[in-house]
Structure 1
Amino acid sequence: MSAKRIVVFLLLAVLVIGVSAQDGQTVKIYTSWPLTGGSQAIGQSMLNAVNLALEHYLTDHDGMGPAGLTVEIVPLDDASPTSGAWDGQIEAENAQRCVNDPECLVYMGTYNSGAAAVSMPITNAAGVVQVSPANTYAGLTRSCPTCAEDEPGIYRPSGEVNYFRVITPDDVQGPAAASWAACLGYENVYVLDDTQAYGAGIANEFATHAEEIGLNIVGHSSLETADADPRSALTAALRDGADLIYGGFVLDSGGPRVIQAMYDEGLFDAGIKFMGPDGVLSPALIEQVGGAEILAGNTYFTFGGLLPSLLSDEAGMRFYTEYVEQFDEEPDPYSVYSYAAMQVVLSALETAAESGTVDRASVLGAVRNTATFEGIIGTFGFDENGDNTAGVYYGYDFEGEAFANPTAITPTMHESCE
């Protein structure tokens, strides 16, 4: 079924409800991302961060929610129990649950960009603000050379912007990664992706910019499923003289399997390295590939900010310290953006209350007008497309037992490599 027909089908199911929340009543924030399957560790860490942000808010406001409201987080899993990966039907049902619940004023999600493409038209038609901590596919918010022709309009049936993301999109991350690869001295790159909106999108962004700046793309292929065997593609990469493999994946779409296969098939011993985007940068990756020794010295990763353990301001250190104390684990990098997204939502509820009415329209308006919000990721706002106005990317290698050595990267750094 075409994307347009899917959107039309989903919109027929939308029940648009006019709702408002009065002082003392409950306001629900629905979250939707994988809580089971291959991305379970990431999703649970994101949910932990959302809960921690609310806990910190209540602590800082004498136990009171914004404007005296009781804020309830409703966590939903959009992963399939069969495949362990996000599922479009489940994601649509999750968004519909929020729309049909008069107390749901905010839909926070998703993790996977492809899932957002499913839920965005539903929340948009209902006038529910959607805030994502993790989606990076550029076409969700703006047109780009590698985006589909009807994006992002297909996600906005009302004609209004209701979707906002706190992380910077792939049309910055992909080109920045390509320029970084050039500065690292790599010349011949084989590109792999998972065919999904996020994975294929960022792989295309990387490949396009890499060729523009003089890198040689020796091949580009896709793995149709998470359990597809990557060895034939890796054999081609070795044959064609690749010194770097760029993989557009997330944890549950085949990224760990590619890295494992590179190790098993001797590509790392041959000096070929792996570079991947934020979708595979997670502490969970270490176990999934078979240990830190496989990653150390062989891999590079990009991510839209400093990792949790490297946050140095007061808010960041509070988050990291209390997260580790409470959950007895390292927070996933995306937990920082989940915390930031919750901060934005809580601030929007405050702003909406100041206008006299807390309802879907006023909360949406408050998020849309966010301009100089000071949160855990610094000062930022949203532009007319719903994108973060102050995004930045870092490159990491892997050293010892951890992702290390952050380097600020940009799409133009190849010009001087400084």
Structure 2
Amino acid sequence: MQFKAQCIPLAIALAFASAGSASAQEIIKIGHVGPVSGPSAHLGKDNENGANMAIEDLNAKGIKIDGKPVKFVLMLEDDGADPKQGTAVAQKLVDAKVNGVIGHLNSGTSIPASKIYYDAGIPQISPATTQTKYTQQGFKSAFRVVANDAKLGGTLGAYAVGKLGAKKIAVIDDRTAYGQGVANEFIKGAKKALPGVQIVAKEFTTDKATDFNAILTSIRGKGPDLVFFGGMDSVGGPLLRQMKALGITAKYMGGDGVCTEALPKLAGAAAVNGVVYCAEAGGVTPAEQKNLDDFVARYKKKYNSDVQLYAPYVYDAVMTMAAAMQEAKSSQPAKYLPLLQKINYQGVTGLIAFDQFGDIKDGALTLFTYKDGKKTKVEVVK
């Protein structure tokens, strides 16, 4: 009994010491939002994985801010690629007093959510939102680490007529902010590069559609040599499969939403080979390639799957936000936001720096095609 009486105060003392140590470590909450349910769940999970890798790496480094140890905690939310759900989870993160937000993936959710973050003074870095409007709203808290639709769609339009020789083009979009935006910019780019190009059809579907026979039958009669689709791979893949079934031999082009490793599974490997051209809203120079390759290899080892699309950009978005906090010697949004606006961070996807709107400076695009069912790089365009 005497031994127990002596041990109880010691146990209490150790507990207090442990609590004191924990309280000395500041907790920094980073929100991540993406669609981890619904048709684009594979892309949302890819982004989520990239965020997790960044948080783990930051904590493994034992980061200090203003000389004090910190621990980064990731708060994961699912927006289902739905604008209403997106604003709901945005408010949830604001209420949780997160220090910053990485997301959203889709333009249709990022744009309405961005006002909620702006009103709360919380910095938001999107790793995938390309709709030009996102950074044109006057919200100084909104940033992106990829090129926007004006560059993405415009470059694809010029490539379609200049390199692929397209003269008769059919355009389909899914009516989302992203789909309409990239399709409109594609048309502008094509017309600018070749004023005489014919847009023989301009059709639309939805981001949940599965049957495209009526649209494609109409398009087939107009004999296009290229079909452009503005939307995500979950719709774009089945659309391409049905194009082939109807005997449409036109080239197929899309933005980053269809430019995924999953596209051959969704459309069929035979449907994509030598037919599909797309662009990812990012890219690295040959000198930067090793850093990106190393990340891709680490991702593959950790998750036993390939990077789908934007996981490296999510990783860099988290790291860039943390770097701004370190420079500001504070994780408080009002204090590190001015440093984020002026940041120069060398990431796995290249140099991260923002212009006065929050767009990435000198944003690159990577053009891809598909060979033997595998996404294959064509060239990087800046």
Work out whether the TM-score is over 0.5: yes
Figure out how many residues of one structure are paired with residues of the other and give that number: 354
RMSD: 1.9
State the shift of 1:318 in Å: 2.5
State the shift of 1:337 in Å: 0.8
C-alpha distance in 1 between matches for 2:297 and 2:207: 38
Question: Is the CA contact 2:64–2:70 (under 8 Å) kept in the aligned structure 1?
Answer: yes
Question: Is the CA contact 1:49–1:338 (under 8 Å) kept in the aligned structure 2?
Answer: yes
C-alpha distance in 1 between matches for 2:358 and 2:31: 19
Residues 1:235 and 1:329: Cα distance change in structure 2 (over 3 Å): same
Instruction: Indicate yes or no: 2:366 matched with 1:397.
Output: no
Instruction: Indicate yes or no: 2:221 matched with 1:229.
Output: no
C-alpha distance in 1 between matches for 2:276 and 2:292: 27
C-alpha distance in 1 between matches for 2:57 and 2:191: 46
Instruction: Indicate yes or no: 2:291 matched with 1:292.
Output: no
Instruction: Indicate yes or no: 2:188 matched with 1:208.
Output: yes
SS for the counterpart of 2:262 is helix
Question: Is the CA contact 1:311–1:317 (under 8 Å) kept in the aligned structure 2?
Answer: no
SS for the counterpart of 1:297 is coil
Instruction: Indicate yes or no: 2:299 matched with 1:323.
Output: yes
State the shift of 1:352 in Å: 2.4
The residue type paired with residue 243 of structure 2 is: M
User: Which of 74, 84, 91 in structure 2 is aligned with 1:89?
Assistant: 84
- Tell me the residue number matched to 1:101: 96
C-alpha distance in 2 between matches for 1:218 and 1:340: 41
Q: Which structure would you say has the larger RCO, counting Cα contacts within 8 Å and 6 or more residues apart? A: 1
SS for the counterpart of 1:74 is strand
The residue type paired with residue 272 of structure 2 is: L
Question: Is the CA contact 1:65–1:71 (under 8 Å) kept in the aligned structure 2?
Answer: no
The CA deviation string for residues 110-169 of structure 1, in whole angstroms up to 9 with x for no partner, is: 000010122111110010001100000001113xxxxxxxxx25xx4xxxx100000000
Question: Is the CA contact 1:379–1:390 (under 8 Å) kept in the aligned structure 2?
Answer: no
C-alpha distance in 2 between matches for 1:313 and 1:234: 39
- Tell me the residue number matched to 1:365: 338
The CA deviation string for residues 271-324 of structure 1, in whole angstroms up to 9 with x for no partner, is: 3111011011111222222x32221122111112349xx996443233112111
- Tell me the residue number matched to 1:70: 71
Identical pairs, percent: 26
SS for the counterpart of 1:29 is strand
Q: Give TM-score, length-normalised by structure 2.
A: 0.88
- Tell me the residue number matched to 1:273: 251
SS for the counterpart of 2:99 is strand
The CA deviation string for residues 351-399 of structure 1, in whole angstroms up to 9 with x for no partner, is: 221xxx43121122221121x2211111230011000002111211100
Instruction: Indicate yes or no: 2:278 matched with 1:304.
Output: no
- Tell me the residue number matched to 1:246: 228
C-alpha distance in 2 between matches for 1:65 and 1:231: 58
Instruction: Indicate yes or no: 2:246 matched with 1:262.
Output: no
User: Which of 167, 173, 186 in structure 1 is aligned with 2:166?
Assistant: 186
- Tell me the residue number matched to 1:384: 356
- Tell me the residue number matched to 2:316: 340
State the shift of 1:72 in Å: 0.2
C-alpha distance in 2 between matches for 1:230 and 1:311: 43
Q: How does 1:14-25 map to 2 (within 5 A)?
A: 24-25=25-26
Q: How does 1:15-54 map to 2 (within 5 A)?
A: 24-54=25-55
- Tell me the residue number matched to 2:116: 122
Residues 1:251 and 1:31: Cα distance change in structure 2 (over 3 Å): same
State the shift of 1:225 in Å: 4.7
- Tell me the residue number matched to 2:4: none
Give every structure 1 segment of 4 or more consecutive aligned residues whose post-TM-superposition deviation is greater than 3 Å. 63-67, 310-314
Question: Is the CA contact 1:336–1:377 (under 8 Å) kept in the aligned structure 2?
Answer: yes
C-alpha distance in 2 between matches for 1:127 and 1:265: 51
Question: Is the CA contact 1:35–1:77 (under 8 Å) kept in the aligned structure 2?
Answer: yes
Q: Decide which structure has the larger Cα Rg and report it.
A: 2
Q: Give TM-score, length-normalised by structure 1.
A: 0.80
User: Which of 148, 155, 163 in structure 2 is aligned with 1:169?
Assistant: 148
Question: Is the CA contact 2:36–2:42 (under 8 Å) kept in the aligned structure 1?
Answer: yes
The CA deviation string for residues 190-238 of structure 1, in whole angstroms up to 9 with x for no partner, is: 0000111100011011112212322211111111352253222222222
The residue type paired with residue 227 of structure 1 is: A
